[in-house]
Structure 1
Amino acid sequence: MTEGNFVDYVKLHISSGKGGKGSVHLHREKYITKGGPDGGDGGRGGHVILRANPNMWTLHHLKFKRHFKAGHGAHGSKSRSTGADGEDVYIDVPLGTIIRDTETQDILHEIVEEGQEIIIAKGGMGGLGNWHFKNSVNQTPRYAQPGVDGQEFDVTLELKILADVGLVGFPNAGKSTLLSVITSAKPKIADYEFTTLKPNLGIVAYRDFQTFVMADIPGIIEGAAEGKGIGHRFLRHIERNSTLLFLVPADAPDINEQYEILLDELRRYNPDLLDKERLIAISKSDMLDDELKAEIKAELDVQLNIPYLFISSVAQQGLQELKDRLWQMLND
């Protein structure tokens, strides 16, 4: 998936269908000149329905189609015939989609299960035909109910990507390079900060044809929780990852300090993120000789209270150990 095709935020205008009118009709046939009322009910208006599609990873298909309008219900007719229901409109969205009311920003629904369907805008009820209103006093009512109007409003869809492992790190820490090496994803890689502007997903092939999904999320900077950099636009994607892989480059001035800064940004954004499984990968470790690696290890053994390992995406060092550790964390 190319970066330009990853869309995680769209606004839609949706309209459900209006219910059909009830019929005002009096029964007439040969030899029955004054039959009773037999006007049928109107059909209900069409719904606008959001449907979970596990084969989708992005909201890109909604980028250029922003208006969705369901069909109106047909009017009732004679012989108590009910009008046809309006045609429903289905909007397929990936798992992890949040639906907000654009005006109030209230969360209306979340799509989190395969096969889930949610009626986001209900069609209007059809009106009752005149045969419902006959009684001993009024045996030939010449009125019926009109159909109820449908709903019309704006919604905002936000995608929080569903991945097993989320990559967390400062810009240019080597997250995209790691994703490109251990998955078949082709993220943009360059020697400058914020190369990645939108999340990338990749499927990691493990032993015995097993797989798990890894997400490369744009780099965090200090103040991201307050919206600096790309702020909330990417921090929300971390919320649905079950395991967080912190990537800190071996040439960082202070590895533990960088990890604490990243952890603090997550804490300030959403304290629940600290309940997730965490692992630190020290990237670009091919630049270290054995002596320097031993010194760093001695310091980290004292400073860190979570597991860590040394890797190099370019030199293909420590990657199998990394996959083994992640798989174990995901399946414990």
Structure 2
Amino acid sequence: MVWLSRALLRQYGRFMDDLRIYVKGGSGGMGFPRFGGEGGKGGDVWLVAHEKLTLKRIKDRYPTKRFVAGTGANSSIAALKGATGKDCEVKVPIGISVATDDGKLFGELNKAGERLLVARGGIGGCMITNFLPTKGQKHTIHLDLKLIADVGLVGFPNAGKSSLLTKISHATPQIADYAFTTIKPELGTVKYADFKQITVADLPGLIEGAHANKGRGHNFLKHVERTKQLLFVVDVAGFQLSSETPFRTAFETIILLAKELELYKEDLRTKPALLAVNKMDLPNAKEKLNELMEQLQSPQDSMQSLPTDTIPEITVEFKEIIPISTYTGEGIEILIQRLREVLDEEAEKKIEDYQKDQLRALQLSET
């Protein structure tokens, strides 16, 4: 299959998924050479994952975007061991990837309450430092938000992803009959009779050249990384972005989407994927669907007319192909069920793989 990585600062309306902040650990306190007193260590700066928080809220609340920990107390006759400086805790959204300006990755925060140290405080003055304190670490770091969802909707603009999200969940994304209606990620929750819930992310539409950051480019693609499963959504009648761009059939749309993902990050080839062929209520939809199914049966033959640089190295293999209509509701219930089944199948596979690895390690330890 085919697929994706990280991004630069980008803001769409009120949504923000990348924020640059300055963090600095506190300086240590002065030592007391005469009595061998040690200054207190400077405080550390920690990022703490917190629910119901956004990067925009952080920016609005802290416009300077500077976070500095407390300075360690000086050693004195009254307290030869200086007190440690106060730590600075910065609450950030769940799903944050943290890196420095030069690309060094600090880590990720994916669960509420997880903590990440981003700037250590300096050492207090002591014998080793000739009783002089050291400064704390300082960094300019990027907080890169990547949505965590069970299913990511992948498709060119106006394929019907927003309408589909409305049909299968309680989300209310903006919908209109023109490209790029979705300008920020939308999350919806699909609820099942046994109380199981899965999250579905409708992401801004891709265009050809997205891997090179055209259109919404990297800002779209980085969110796809954090989904467990991909749902391609294509218009059975094909797609044309504008009068200045070529018309693409449904088959060509699938191939181009796969190529954009592949060029961005090959690792995503391993993600399970389903295909929803939308707008089955249109005239001649069944004939076009039959043509698409034939092309998907022998994709190499059907791709011969495409430029070689648009053809993915590995052909997409869908777990299931489901014709749907977000207008009439055709196929929606089947799609909802299959989304759940594929997620469950993948979860079971991971458990089986883990058990096999544990058994293999046990057998090796006994030999």
Q: Which amino acid is 2:58 matched to?
A: L
Deviations 1:103-130 (A, max 9, x none): x1332322235533121000111112xx
Number of residue pairs aligned between Structure 1 and Structure 2:
304
Aligned match of 1:221: 207
**Equivalent AA in structure 1 for residue 235 of structure 2:** P
Contact 1:56/1:93 (8 A) holds in 2 = no
Q: Would you say 1:269 and 2:278 are equivalent positions?
A: no
Amino acid at match of 1:317: E
Aligned to 1:162: 148
Partners of 2:251 and 2:292 within 8 A in 1: no
| Farther off after superposition, 298-307 or 58-67 | 298-307
Which residue, out of 104, 123, 126, partners 1:125?
Answer: 123
Letter in 1 for 2:328: A
Alignment of 1:90-169 (within 5 A): 90-102=89-101, 104-128=102-126, 145-169=131-155
1:42-78 residue CA offsets vs partner (Å, 9 max, x unmatched): 111111101223x246422222321111111111222
Structure 1 stretches of 5 or more lacking a match?
Answer: 26-36, 134-142
**1:156, CA displacement in angstroms?**
1.1
Correspondent of 1:314 among 327, 334, 338: 327
Name the stretch that deviates more: 75-84 or 149-158: 75-84
After superposition, the Cα gap between the structure-2 partners of 1:20 and 1:303, relative to the gap in structure 1 and judged at 3 Å, is same
Partners of 2:173 and 2:76 in 1: CA distance: 59
Q: Aligned residue for 2:57?
A: 61
Q: Compared with structure 1, are the counterparts of its residues 12 and 283 closer, same or farther at alpha carbon in structure 2 (3 Å cutoff)?
A: same
- How do 1:180-195 and structure 2 match up within 5 A? 180-195=166-181
Kept after mapping to 2: 8 A contact 1:160/1:240: yes
Deviation at 1:98, TM superposition (A): 1.5
**Counterparts of 1:57 and 1:300 in 2: how far apart (Å)?**
46
2:277 to 268, 282, 297: 282
Moved over 6 A (4+): none
Q: TM-score, normalised by structure 1?
A: 0.84
| Cα separation, partners in 2 of 1:298 and 1:127, compared to 1, 3 Å | closer
Structure 2: distance between partners of 1:327 and 1:285:
23
Q: Distance in 2 between matches of 1:57 and 1:309?
A: 36
Q: Residue type matched to 2:124 in 1?
A: G
Distance change (3 Å), C-alpha of 1:69 and 1:291: closer
Aligned position for 1:23: 32
Between structures 1 and 2, the one with greater helix share: 2
1:240 aligned residue: 226
Provide the secondary structure at the position in 1 that maps to 2:184: coil
* 8 Å Cα contact 1:41/1:80 also seen in 2: no
Give me the whole-angstrom Cα distance separating, in 2, the residues matched to 1:205 and 1:191: 28
Q: After superposing the two structures, state which structure 1 stretch, 57-66 or 254-263, moved more.
A: 57-66
Q: Distance in 2 between matches of 1:328 and 1:172?
A: 27
Instruction: Kindly state the Cα deviation for residue 215 of structure 1 after the two structures are TM-superposed.
Output: 0.8
- Specify the alignment match of 2:48 in structure 1: 51
- Maintained 8 Å contact 1:163/1:240: yes
> Aligned letter for 1:82?
K
Partner Cα distance (1:303, 1:158) in 2? 40
Q: Conserved in 1, the CA contact under 8 Å of 2:29 and 2:39?
A: yes
- For residues 150 and 80 of structure 2, the distance between their equivalents in structure 1, rounded to whole angstroms, comes to 53
* Structure 2 residue aligned with 1:201: 187
In the alignment, residue 329 of structure 2 is paired with which amino acid?
Q
1:249 equivalent among 201, 226, 235 = 235
TM-score, normalising length from structure 2? 0.76
Correspondence 1:4-19 to 2 at 5 A: 4-19=13-28
* One-letter amino acid of the structure 1 residue matched with residue 282 of structure 2: M
Please state whether the residue corresponding to 2:281 is helix, strand or coil.
helix
> What percent of counterpart residues are identical?
39
Contact 1:49 1:118 in 2 (8 A): yes
> Which amino acid in 1 is paired with 2:47?
L
Task: Check if 1:40 corresponds to 2:37.
Answer: yes
Shift of residue 11, structure 1, vs aligned partner: 0.5
What is the deviation of 1:290? 8.1
